[in-house]
Amino acid sequence: MKTPNRSPLFASLTTFSLLVSMIAGVSVYDNAKAQSSQASAQADSVTTPVQERVRQAGTGAETVSVILQLNGPASGPLNGLLESAGVRVKGRFSNFNSIAVDLPAGTVEALKSYSEIVSVTLNKSVRSLGHVSATSGADAARTTSGINVLGLDGTGIGIAVLDSGMDSAHTSFLDKSNNVRVIVSHDFTGEGRTDDPYGHGTHVASTVAGNGRISNANYIGIAPNANIINLRVLGSQGAGSVANVLGALDWVMTNRAAYNIRVVNMSLGTLAVDSYRNDPMCRAVRRLVDAGVVVVAAAGNNGKDGAGRKVYGQVHSPGNEPSALTVGATNTFGTNARGDDHVTTYSSRGPTRSFWTDTDGRKHYDNQIKPELVAPGNKLVYAQARNNLLVTQNPQMDASVSPVSVRNMMFMNGTSMSAPVAAGAAALMLQANPRLTPNMVKMILMYTAQRLPGFNVFEQGAGQLNIEGAVRLARLVRTDLTNSTPLGAPLLTSLLPPAQQTTIAGHTFPWAQGIIAGRTYATGFNLIDRYQKAYGTGVLFGDGVLFGDGVLFGDGVLFGDGVLFGDKIMNGDGVLFGDGQPLLPVGVLFGDGVLFGDGVLFGDGVLFGDGVLFGDGVLFGDGVLFGDSAALNTAILMAQSATANGDGTASMAVSVDTGFDFLGY
């Protein structure tokens, strides 16, 4: 039997953790047992939010919009129901065995009798959730002495952007030969257009892959020569549906090889109510990740309530999916050096509070640690779509960079902006080493991140994105690794380990040297020195963690010797992952919400409870979020101006365009 890997520091906390676990009603189990327990205890296929919606609607003919997830082909009787009067099939997603359907509320109860239906979830509304190349480390990763000797610019990598469309005529989307890099566009909203009347998608796409032609590359994207796949899932008012998103993800699953789609960016979401095990967007994301596609999701912009207090547990779907790379937002305060960077007040914090309900009516919360990373997202300046609704309604978002509409830029803020920064980083890593799996990409990004002092794991995950370190480490990873590679085999091609620190704008910081692993975290040099089975496809980092006797340790199957697992959620001190002051025991996260009830204070005195988590499933995104500021208008954060000082400072200064294309990027 393998000896558990235990940190001497954490071993002394065993008794306390066990006591907390017993109080919280924690049973000793691993993730596999938890899932099998769920399968036997699930009340029925119709999830709690659907049942609540039906109760509100009554049993009459009022329509309920749902997603049916199946375990195989629909039977004749089910097809008969779907073809009956009053029922409208809105979409079939063959790669995910899912169907979007509108049907009378009185029909929902009948769905329980069809054995091929795994779950019935709401087809909820989905909404969008903006120097970056320098401060993120992208410039340092691409260049040596200002020259791109490595040739890293995202060439050949396809990035699918699920958003409100794109103004593909914008100068930011040209390559150096004047070809448009938006290589394919599809509309999934039913509006029959792929441009961007709302204005969100164009900004997001140029953040991840905008070129450096305008204003001497001051607004260059992270992967400025990557191919962009425009999948429009948000309509002209910035809203969409789960069905729209499933349609786009289904298309990616079918066409990923044809366009070499290695990265998907989802700067959108809906409130995470259904457990990731049942949520159709989460399940679709998992299928794509298992197929080798990195999926990046915005954490959400609900880190603060209307009274300005911190709020925990507001990470949105699909950001609550464990296989997704979920990204929160930082404010760089307009400097390239990173010593003054902070997590924004509005960035959503973990843990994830989506849940499933057993036959006794008891809720079982996912309680995954999210986000995994944070990245610059406050007042970013990137491409402005022509005549878009956001700027029309909010003129202060116009950065007034150029009088030429296809060269103008706009301010945007939020985790919607930080997600594409991380997506661009993933594209650069995959260009440097195409054999990286999504789990390897996640591991490297977390391991090389910068810990921000004063912020806990629920706020910053492993830390702030460091593209220089991530690309440098990615280039050293062996290219012959497969799921069959033995646990503990050498991971790197080099005999000497890389320097585990990065210098940006004269500021040197150590790498985090750790990763998020479900409900805990792991540290240790062997994370990058030795191959871990958790780096393959078809598994989650959290699968390699056993919880027993109050101590977390590796199971010897997915993680090997030399990897240490922590049993405390930590407030960071800005050095290494695991350093700092304890916030609460990891054992609390296994307690199914017992210690997280309404009105209960935890950690730093923040109100944490279900009462602040779940609304009507609609997220209001970046169109009303003007930056981090002390000025608060109900739940909307607003800066005094686009260049306000202090917490409202722009992360990117405005540089007026000369009108001449700069091609030296």
Quick one: CA dihedral 476, 479, 482, 484, positive or negative?
A: negative
Residue 406 confidence class, pLDDT cut points 50, 70, 90: very high
| Pairing state between β 158-163 and 261-266 | parallel
Would residue 644 count as lying in a domain? no
Residue 21: DSSP 8-state: H
CA angle 292, 185, 264 (to 5 degrees): 25
- Please state, in angstroms and rounded to a whole number, the distance separating the CA atoms of residues 527 and 29: 24
The enclosing domain of 116 has a CATH number of 3.30.70.80
User: Among 136-140, 334-338, 544-548, whose mean pLDDT is lowest?
Assistant: 544-548
Q: Are 314 and 300 in contact (CB under 8 A)?
A: yes
pLDDT of residue 126: 64
Evaluate if residue 417 carries a pLDDT over 90.
Answer: yes
pLDDT of residue 358: 87
Tokens of 34: 């938890």
Task: Report the pLDDT averaged over residues 449-463.
Answer: 95
User: Among 172-181, 197-206, 512-521, 607-616, whose mean pLDDT is lowest?
Assistant: 607-616
Count of alpha carbons within 13 angstroms of residue 202, beta-carbon side: 33
Q: Are residues 208 and 62 in the same domain?
A: no
Better-predicted residue by pLDDT, 366 or 52: 366
- Please state, in angstroms and rounded to a whole number, the distance separating the CA atoms of residues 81 and 86: 10
Q: Are 471 and 446 in contact (CB under 8 A)?
A: no
391 SS3 class: helix
User: Among 149-153, 188-192, 315-319, 564-568, whose mean pLDDT is lowest?
Assistant: 149-153
Burial of 145 (0-12, 13-18, 19+ CB in 10 A): exposed
Average pLDDT, the chain: 82
Last residue of a domain, one of 587, 612, 637: 612
Would residue 245 count as lying in a domain? yes
Give me the number of domains the chain comprises: 2
pLDDT of residue 555: 76
- Please state, in angstroms and rounded to a whole number, the distance separating the CA atoms of residues 232 and 249: 11
- Please state, in angstroms and rounded to a whole number, the distance separating the CA atoms of residues 170 and 406: 4
Residues in a beta bridge with 104: 63
Tokens of 121: 């979830």
Length of the chain: 665
Q: Are 163 and 134 in contact (CB under 8 A)?
A: no
- Please state, in angstroms and rounded to a whole number, the distance separating the CA atoms of residues 416 and 646: 22
Cβ atoms within 10 Å of 565's Cβ, excluding its own? 28
Last residue of a domain, one of 586, 612, 638: 612
The enclosing domain of 387 has a CATH number of 3.40.50.200
Phi first, then psi: what are they for 23, rounded to 5°? -60, -40
Phi first, then psi: what are they for 514, rounded to 5°? -160, 170
Q: Are residues 60 and 138 in the same domain?
A: no
Q: Are residues 353 and 494 in the same domain?
A: yes
pLDDT of residue 650: 53
Q: Are residues 117 and 130 in the same domain?
A: no
Q: Per residue in 15-25, pLDDT tens?
A: 323 222 322 32
Would residue 106 count as lying in a domain? yes
Task: Report the pLDDT averaged over residues 162-178.
Answer: 96
- Please state, in angstroms and rounded to a whole number, the distance separating the CA atoms of residues 27 and 4: 19
Q: Are residues 145 and 102 in the same domain?
A: no
Would residue 12 count as lying in a domain? no
Residue 556 confidence class, pLDDT cut points 50, 70, 90: confident
Q: Are residues 112 and 157 in the same domain?
A: no
Q: Report the range out of 25-39, 139-153, 293-307, 633-647 with the highest average pLDDT.
A: 293-307
Q: Are 122 and 65 in contact (CB under 8 A)?
A: yes
Would residue 28 count as lying in a domain? no
Would residue 369 count as lying in a domain? yes
Last residue of a domain, one of 122, 144, 165: 122
Count of alpha carbons within 13 angstroms of residue 217, beta-carbon side: 13
User: Among 222-236, 335-349, 470-484, whose mean pLDDT is lowest?
Assistant: 335-349
Would residue 109 count as lying in a domain? yes
Q: Are 443 and 485 in contact (CB under 8 A)?
A: no
- Please state, in angstroms and rounded to a whole number, the distance separating the CA atoms of residues 318 and 325: 10
Q: Are residues 418 and 558 in the same domain?
A: yes
pLDDT of residue 550: 55
CA angle 372, 375, 381 (to 5 degrees): 150
Tokens 């995910």 sit at which residue?
96
Task: Report the pLDDT averaged over residues 210-233.
Answer: 95
Q: Are residues 306 and 347 in the same domain?
A: yes
**Contacts made by residues 49-57, CB under 8 angstroms, sequence distance 24+:** 49/121, 49/122, 49/273, 49/274, 49/617, 50/108, 50/120, 50/121, 50/122, 53/105, 53/122, 54/105, 54/108, 54/109, 57/105
Q: Are residues 66 and 191 in the same domain?
A: no
Q: Are residues 102 and 188 in the same domain?
A: no
Q: Are residues 482 and 568 in the same domain?
A: yes
Helical residues (DSSP H) of 98-192, grouped into ranges: 132-135, 138-142
pLDDT of residue 26: 31
pLDDT of residue 662: 85
CA distance from start to end of the chain = 55
- Please state, in angstroms and rounded to a whole number, the distance separating the CA atoms of residues 463 and 460: 5
- Please state, in angstroms and rounded to a whole number, the distance separating the CA atoms of residues 384 and 266: 19
Enter the pTM of the model. 0.83
Would residue 9 count as lying in a domain? no
Cβ atoms within 10 Å of 113's Cβ, excluding its own? 12
29 SS3 class: strand
Q: 424-459: buried (b, 16+ CB within 10 Å) or exposed (e) per residue?
A: bbbbbbbbbbeebbbbbbbbbbbbbbbbbeebbbbb
pLDDT of residue 592: 59
Tokens 């062997």 sit at which residue?
526
pLDDT of residue 403: 92
pLDDT of residue 600: 44
Write down the number of H helices and E strands in the chain. Answer: 16, 33
Residue 288 domain boundaries: 126-612
